[in-house]
Amino acid sequence: MTLHGTQPDAIKDPLFVSEPRWPAIVAVVAAAAIFTALPPNLIIGPRWLVMVLVLALTAPYALLNRSGLRQAARVLGYLNSAVITLFLLASLFLLVRAMLRHQGSPGQMLTSAACLWVANILVFALWYWRLDAGGPHARETRGAHEMGAFLFPQMTMRGHPAANWRPHFIDYLFLAFNTSTAFSPTDTAILSRWGKALIMLQSLMSLTIVALLAARAVNIL
């Protein structure tokens, strides 16, 4: 069962498949769980704080989606992603400072950097999914994926089933994974300015983490 309370009267294309919300919910909870594994000096406040905030926003988000109150759910979704993003930026700053000051054991720093690298993928995948073509609710209301920020390879193909293909959360997760590993969106074209800005920001954050990992590995820092 999916957490999205489908509204058939709003769907124009009979072949359009509503997007399940549970992958995004799993991703945001997983990202919050990562922060609970960080040492106290690499996170703002107690380690349980981010998980409590995320769960406090995720539970009503799921309920509102099931009730069909999509606009209210959309606001909570943005707040949820914003909270995780702020914690990610703060922890990355604290990680850089800790490494420059030679704080913490090498193993602890390497593990923390790897955790933040994974969190970086999840956080930006959520933003791409929430913002592309107005977000999942807007895409479902139109019954089509129009005026999107990302041009996935399947969208350039002709014929069935490619003609009716629509991206779901896993596609945005793959985009975020490629951006963090290759520092580019690889096979997906970026059409909007905000999309390019987010891709650059994610690549920069990933590059920072990878550079810190490499420096620690060869004992430069």
The pLDDT score that the predictor gives to residue 159 is: 66
**Cα distances (Å, whole numbers) of residue 128 to 87, 96, 164:** 18, 26, 20
User: Is residue 71 included in any domain, yes or no?
Assistant: yes
d(CA 79, CA 54): 9
User: Is residue 8 included in any domain, yes or no?
Assistant: no
User: Is residue 6 included in any domain, yes or no?
Assistant: no
pTM: 0.86
User: Is residue 56 included in any domain, yes or no?
Assistant: yes
Q: Kindly give the parts of the chain with pLDDT less than 70.
A: 1-17, 143-144, 159-163, 219-221
Neighbours of 120 (CB within 10 A): 25
Domain limits at 115? Answer: 15-217
Q: How many domains does the chain have?
A: 1
The pLDDT score that the predictor gives to residue 180 is: 95
Residues in contact with 187: Cβ distance below 8 Å, sequence separation at least 6, in sequence order: 152, 153, 178
User: Is residue 67 included in any domain, yes or no?
Assistant: yes
Q: Convert the pLDDT of each residue in 60-105 to its tens digit.
A: 999 998 888 888 999 999 999 999 999 999 999 999 999 888 887 8
Packing angle between helix 22-36 and helix 70-100, nearest 10 degrees? Answer: 30
User: Is residue 187 included in any domain, yes or no?
Assistant: yes
The pLDDT score that the predictor gives to residue 143 is: 67
Question: SS3 for 151?
Answer: strand
Strand stretches in 51-162, DSSP E:
150-151
The answer to whether residues 127 and 89 touch, using CB atoms and an 8 Å cutoff, is no
The answer to whether residues 11 and 18 touch, using CB atoms and an 8 Å cutoff, is yes
User: Is residue 10 included in any domain, yes or no?
Assistant: no
The pLDDT score that the predictor gives to residue 216 is: 74
User: Is residue 138 included in any domain, yes or no?
Assistant: yes
